[in-house]
Structure 1
Amino acid sequence: MRVTAIALAAGTLFCAVVQADLAVFGYLPTWNRDAAAKVDYSKYTHVALAFGVPKADGSLKFDGTSYLSSVVSQLHSTKTKALVSVGGWTDSNHFSTILKSPSARSTFLNALVNLVKDHGIDGIDIDWEYPGHEGNPGNAIDPQNDTKNLLALVKDLRAQFDSRFGKGSKLITLAGSTAPFWGPKGPLSDVKDFAGPVDFFNLMNYEINGSWQPTTGPNAPLYFETNKGSQASFDSSVRAWTKAGIPSKKLLGGLAFYGHGYKASVDMTSNPKNQYVAHTGDAVGDWTYVSLRRNGILSGPTTAAGDWVRYYDSTTRTPWVFNKKTKVYVTYDDTQSLKEKRDYSANNNLGGVMVWSIDQDYD
């Protein structure tokens, strides 16, 4: 894979020119589909509409059913693969119990196959957050069996896809965190059996630091800073998944088109080389890149506006902005940091990149 496989254009976060062997996979939330009306989908090789919601009995609710076929036709007109993603942070609560119930599991498997058949989509993305450990509070989990049950499901889904639609003609992708799927003792050291039935693993290399921790820190570091903030990163995620047996070509490194803002307890401009300071606990919301541009925080791709000052962390390879008057700190990604992740993906032979989410870009 050559570094020139993806190009970034001024004025937008991510404007891709894609070679045949490089995936650029974007998530498109159904609740904000209109915000992406001007997106040039030819820049994406794959787009997943998010999310289908698994119900307790294994049935599937998808709010985009009424327009799904037309969206699929639109994506196919630009030679973009169309998928539906099921689950997500809010709606992963039933995965564990569904896969332990023979009747619910059968209903769920059939629902996935029928969704593909009825709307001509190219595959299914399963975004279970997370097998073996709790994501959103209240999710059902079974550390002993969740990952084993997920593997059995994707094997059966692959068999159904291949028998009904032709071998390899439909896609199965899985979302993954910065560590491989969990077992009873934490992240598993061997998940290689997933590599057969699964086409891509979308690594969510973001939500790594945030207001839930005692200090400020980057949402999506390319590298972590030793002994500061969470000791996870884009790089450590790739290394963990490949060490656990997933070929690098099946990994898509996650790119965040958003960040987090919260109030620092000190003036961070006094020591801009340190991105980690105590904060007050007052979160000031998630900031999409488009909102940073439209609300007077950024005046250009890498330029802060007004009372805001932009810095670039040379260790984590991430930008951040700070307002000295309000002491608000915002961690996010821009064209500079995404270019570094793009180059990393190319130089480490990844299958490509994944974007959360398409609607958060600025044009």
Structure 2
Amino acid sequence: MVDGRFGRYSIIIVIVLILSGCNKDESEDDKYLKSPVCTDSFIPKTSEFKVVGFYPSWGHASLPVSEIPWDKLTRIVYAFAVPNADGTLDTKDLTMIQELTETAHKHGVEVYVSIGGGDGSNNFVWIASKDEYTKRFVKKAKQYVFENCLDGVDIDWEYWSGYRTNTVVPSESNVFVYIIKSLKEELSPFGLGVSIDLGASHWGGKHFYDDVVLYADDLQVMCYDFSGPWSAPGPHSSYDQAIGSGSTINSTGLAYWINYRKWPKEKILLGVPFYGRDFDNQGGEGITFSEIIKLSPDAYLNDRINNIYYDGIITMARKSQYVVDNRLSGIMIWEIGQDSWIDSTSLLSAIDNIIFREY
């Protein structure tokens, strides 16, 4: 027979352990901010259309924060924070976050952080594999936005495990919806936004379920890279490729999302490149617009030099006019440091002359 005292002591010990566990969970949550920590009184500039420029961390030297053309942007997206497999974030490359945010806000320009990217998305599939990792990712993303006084977060998920077999992995696509929904619920009470980046065809587009439209504020369609080292020489971002046509599963560009998928155009931004594809000397690798215009005095007026394909200022103006005429949300740029920065040849100036001309 067991002494009753030991039974009572056992019960007490169990209760203490349970309470200790609860306190541990609470202390973990206490590590995360409940609201943004901001000392500035930021007032965003008003504009009917958005002009969103990506600013990669490796572009600091070529385009210092002090030289960014703030008057021609409504938002700057700092790229990239890289997700780790356990849901934490690697932000060590974002060394200019404080200066960037303070300077942007002085000019009325929003600042988002982009997570993922073409070379930084592989771990999303691991984050999707465990509920623990998924929830941690949401907390870490929110924390980074809050502690740096940002205006939102951009999720640039560009790798899916189904790419290997050209199939959709439902668990990953469902987790993506969950992440965007959760971030929306966490950020929107503070007036902060969530954007996502999309490919321009069904090959990548099929991984994005329609429910995500309910939660993402901005849908940025990357209407470029229709050619590259993987293809024969040809345009990678022509006007016709970017806008697309028809309303079938084979439609590309904006037509795929607006006509076939029926996603709301008022949330869609047309993604444009400030770079070309060089099939003459680099096998289709990228070449910046600033490098291209050095090759020929009138290169900025055209879209091709031999087998180098790009957007000149005339095509960029046409794309901008399409955004205005069709009342899209705006234009997204990859990336602003690749421009010429001579006003008469600048792609950003070509956009600015249309988007902000009368609006």
Q: Residue type of the partner of 2:183?
A: L
> How many angstroms apart in 2 are the aligned matches of 1:263 and 1:220?
17
* Corresponding position: 1:187 with 2:212: no
* Corresponding position: 1:176 with 2:198: yes
Counterparts in 2 of 1:262 and 1:128: CA distance versus 1, 3 Å = same
Q: Residue type of the partner of 1:320?
A: R
Contact 1:56 1:94 in 2 (8 A): yes
How much has 1:104 moved relative to structure 2?
1.2
TM-score (norm 2): 0.73
Counterparts in 2 of 1:224 and 1:51: CA distance versus 1, 3 Å = closer
Instruction: Give the match for residue 121 of structure 1.
Output: 150
Contact 1:132 1:147 in 2 (8 A): no
Contact 2:134 2:175 in 1 (8 A): no
Number of corresponding residues: 288
Instruction: Give the match for residue 220 of structure 1.
Output: 237
Counterparts in 2 of 1:174 and 1:302: CA distance versus 1, 3 Å = same
Instruction: Give the match for residue 27 of structure 1.
Output: 54
Q: Residue type of the partner of 1:187?
A: K
Instruction: Give the match for residue 206 of structure 1.
Output: 224
* Corresponding position: 1:159 with 2:176: no
* Corresponding position: 1:244 with 2:244: no
> How many angstroms apart in 2 are the aligned matches of 1:132 and 1:121?
31
* Corresponding position: 1:256 with 2:234: no
Q: Residue type of the partner of 2:104?
A: L
Percent identical? 23
Secondary structure at the aligned position of 1:34 is classed as: coil
> How many angstroms apart in 1 are the aligned matches of 2:111 and 2:162?
29
* Corresponding position: 1:112 with 2:141: yes
Unaligned runs of at least 5 residues, structure 2: 1-44, 243-247, 342-359
> How many angstroms apart in 2 are the aligned matches of 1:259 and 1:133?
28
Per-residue CA shift, 1:172-231, capped at 9, x if unaligned? 00000003686xxx727x944222211111111000012321x32101022149xxxxx9
Pairs within 5 Å for 1:308-327? 319-322=303-306
Contact 2:292 2:299 in 1 (8 A): no
Secondary structure at the aligned position of 1:107 is classed as: helix
* Corresponding position: 1:341 with 2:319: yes
Counterparts in 2 of 1:23 and 1:181: CA distance versus 1, 3 Å = farther
Secondary structure at the aligned position of 2:86 is classed as: coil
Unaligned runs of at least 5 residues, structure 1: 1-17, 226-230, 265-281, 304-311, 313-318, 323-328
Query: Relative contact order (alpha carbons < 8 A, sep ≥ 6): 1 or 2 greater?
Result: 1
Instruction: Give the match for residue 10 of structure 1.
Output: none
How much has 1:262 moved relative to structure 2?
1.4
Secondary structure at the aligned position of 1:283 is classed as: coil
Counterparts in 2 of 1:302 and 1:362: CA distance versus 1, 3 Å = closer
CA RMSD of aligned residues (A): 2.8
TM-score (norm 1): 0.73
Larger Rg: 2
Counterparts in 2 of 1:232 and 1:255: CA distance versus 1, 3 Å = farther
Q: Residue type of the partner of 1:223?
A: D
The structure richer in strand per residue is 1
Instruction: Give the match for residue 111 of structure 2.
Output: 82
> How many angstroms apart in 2 are the aligned matches of 1:66 and 1:355?
21
> How many angstroms apart in 2 are the aligned matches of 1:110 and 1:224?
38
* Corresponding position: 1:42 with 2:36: no
Q: Residue type of the partner of 2:329?
A: G
> How many angstroms apart in 2 are the aligned matches of 1:127 and 1:46?
16
How much has 1:130 moved relative to structure 2?
3.5
